[in-house]
A and B are shown apart, each in its own frame.
Chain A
Amino acid sequence: MWPVIVLLAGPVVAGLLSLVIHRARLLHVVNFSTMLALAVAETALTERVLADGSITTLGTLVYVDALSDFILAIITAIGLSCSLYMWSYMDDQVARGVIAPKRLSLFFFLFHMFLFAMVGATMANSLGVQWVALEGTTLATTFLIAFFRRRESLEAGWKYLILCSVGIALALFGVVLTYYSSVRVLSDVSAALNITALTAVANQLDPNVLKLAFIFVLVGYGTKVGLVPMHTWLPDAYAEAPAPIAAMLAGVLETVAVYTLLRSKVLVDQAISPTFSGNLLITFGLLSFVVAALFVLIQHNYKRLFAYSSIEHMGLAMIGFGVGGFAGTFGGLFHLLNHALAKALAFFVAGNIHRRFDTLEIDGVRGLARSQPITAAAILVAGCALAGLPPFSPFVSELLVVSAVAAQDFASDTVHVGRFVTLAISDEMRSLGIVALFLSFGVVLFGGFMYRIGMMVWGTPPPGSLQGESWTVGHVPVMVIVGALIGLGFMLPEPIRILLTRAVNVIVVR
């Protein structure tokens, strides 16, 4: 039980402590030791989950199976590296006078509340509590995104608050509909939203109600994931948020939002068939992928560049989950991990560049290789990994997803366009079409991405700019993540492989 308690209570305690501590060093120590404790608890929890299968505790409030444990692992891993990066990043911001020293307490309080909400959303047994926690992340991060209080960041924060709250209010209607379908099947009404109870009776739930519910949930949580066309808040928020927050939003919050979607998908798949949710996910996924690739081409701001890459990668993961089966789902889940790592690295590096060059414009950054060699190497790694190049791990997961699409025989062989036109397309044609679309926009994206990053890395630094890079504690997570991205590209450690396989078995409905 203790790992669950540590994971839930840790952020709350640390958040409250942060409010009363006013010394920067102590705040960082509290933050780092909390994250370390969470990581240890998560490791212990993983052992338990691998041994027992799933854990239900605190009454029936908490439910952790392989899927939620995998998401928790991403939260704690990225959170831990963020806490180290924040150490140097936030101190630097205070030293420059960008933020007042006393606001550091508020920053850490909000950060821990954000963390608590994400852990809560992942561990909650009830779909309703999950919704409450996910809305909690919106409320906690609004001020974090606007933390620098510039006009642009205030605007980004407002947009984020409004769009995500609206989106997620639609998701709540989806949750209510799920509840509506379950109350007459389940005798105990107070458990009618519990994942454990719902999974047990999922095949008796009414397909029509669940179809409607899933559409609401997809649009709602999809806003949080950043799927096109509900993505408009995302580039602004990521560009304006402080770098470690952007890393958490892109690496972790999107992952948690995908997790909430997957929980609904499991239910719907059992009640109807995987084709219904699969087709929807593939449609939204492809749309996100294509639109993001086009927007990457025209970006002049490196943080926005990474933001659009997030939309693209989430689209990719959605295609993986949509295609389903073992390969697609495994690829999608593995891609969530790889994307979280690569995106955290990218935003850490972006923070370093921003501090040195004081601009977010790609045109303003030149000659990174000479002025900041470590950062330059890291941004090349992040860029190559996000563009899907070997030997980095996102290449492996992308390959898995693409091959799953190619191997898929779609259940229906006709595509209805409008009401009267029915296109007869053979299964192979359809999956080959998706693969072709996918690969061609992949190339577009790769080109745009590497071109922009190359512009920043090579060339001569602006005259009079500071040369050389001194070692800080913030470089530790950068190095570790680079190592992880390369390492996971070559081999998948046994515990992660088993955990992933179990998580796939949770999602895939046979």
Chain B
Amino acid sequence: MPVSTHLGSQLVDLCSVLLLLCCFAIVAQRRLSACVDLFALQSVFLAATAALVAFLTGHRHIYFAAALTIVIKVIVLPRILRKVIERLNVSRELVMNVNVPAGLLICGALVIVSFFITQPIIPLGYLLTRDSLAIALAIVLIGFFTMIARKKAVTQMVGFLVMENGVFLGATAAAYGMPLIVELGVFFDVLVAGLIVGIYTHRLQDAFDSVDTSTLTVLKE
């Protein structure tokens, strides 16, 4: 393997690890605005990974995905979420289903699990960035866990977006990006989901005087 690709592969791995670190920081964070900032930071790393992969492989369309990531996930969505936080006047997550230390331990376990799961399929990839697949899976699982562990509507949305970032890392790093039409569609869906959450939390606030989803208990068996 030429030195440049070897170095490139290591750089991609480094970026992926930075994404993973952001996940841990989100799990450890109680301030909602910091969670949103960390998500934006994670998206910056995602865009950097995508640009790096585009540069190393010469697949031009990945630059486009990187640019869209910057616009939608670094600028637009965090802005929507910050507006929601400001309007609803909630700054701290006071109710958590799982406390921070336990949450971090679980996330560590999730990372191990995802390396274990992807172990048999990683050598199949011939791409220089295939190792990122395990990290991508870990990010998806941690995003999933965040949604279960937190109760505020905003953090649940951040969890969803983190999952989406994980999937994108998997798509870009392990398989050089999905076909352009699919990526555009996914970006569109994520953006609309963000807008819907923005409108929806407003209505929840009107109806329940709270965006703590644990007050959503009218419906049960």
Interface residues, chain A, CB within 8 Å of chain B?
A: 61, 126, 128-129, 131-133, 135-136, 139, 142-143, 146, 149, 151-152, 154-159, 161-162, 165-166, 169-170, 172-173, 176-177, 179-181, 183-184, 189-193, 206, 208-209, 212, 236, 239-240, 295, 298
Contact = CB atoms under 8 A, between A and B. Distances in A.
Nearest to B216: A155
B121 interface: yes
Contacts of B160: 162, 165-166, 169
Contacts, number: 141
A154 B176 contact: no
Contacts of B207: 149, 151, 154
Nearest to B184: A132
A176 B189 contact: no
Nearest to B125: A180
B194 to A, nearest CB: 10
Given A143-B196, A173-B170, A212-B117, A155 B163 contact: no
Given A155-B216, A161-B200, A169-B167, A139 B192 contact: yes
A189 B189 contact: no
Contact of A129 (B137, B176, B185, B221): B185
Interface string B150-181: 00010010011001101100110011101111
Interface of B: 117-118, 120-121, 124-126, 133, 136-137, 140, 143-144, 147, 153, 156, 159-160, 163-164, 166-167, 170-171, 174-176, 178-182, 185-186, 188-189, 192-193, 196-197, 200, 203-204, 207-208, 213, 216, 218-219, 221
A161 B179 contact: no
Nearest to B185: A132
B196 A166 contact: no
Contacts of B178: 128, 176, 179, 193
17 contacts: A61-B181, A128-B181, A128-B186, A139-B196, A151-B207, A151-B208, A151-B218, A152-B219, A154-B200, A161-B196, A166-B144, A184-B124, A184-B126, A189-B176, A189-B179, A190-B180, A193-B178
A176 B175 contact: yes
Contact of A158 (B180, B189, B204): B204
A193 B88 CA distance: 42
Contacts of A240: 219
Nearest to A127: B182
A166 B167 contact: no
B172 to A, nearest CB: 10
Contact of A170 (B121, B144, B179): B144
A31 B147 CA distance: 38
A152 B178 CA distance: 39
Given A170-B163, A179-B171, A180-B125, 11 more contacts: A128-B181, A129-B185, A139-B192, A142-B200, A146-B203, A162-B213, A180-B174, A180-B175, A183-B176, A208-B121, A239-B219
A136 B170 contact: no
Contact of B219 (A131, A173, A212, A236): A236
Contacts of B179: 126, 128, 189-193
A172 B137 CA distance: 11
A208 B120 contact: yes
A133 B124 CA distance: 30
A345 B160 CA distance: 36
Contact of A128 (B121, B125, B182, B219): B182
B176 A173 contact: no
B218 A139 contact: no
A159 B182 contact: no
B216 A159 contact: yes
A183 B180 contact: no
A425 B100 CA distance: 47
Nearest to B153: A158
A126 B218 contact: no
A180 B164 CA distance: 17
A384 B185 CA distance: 42
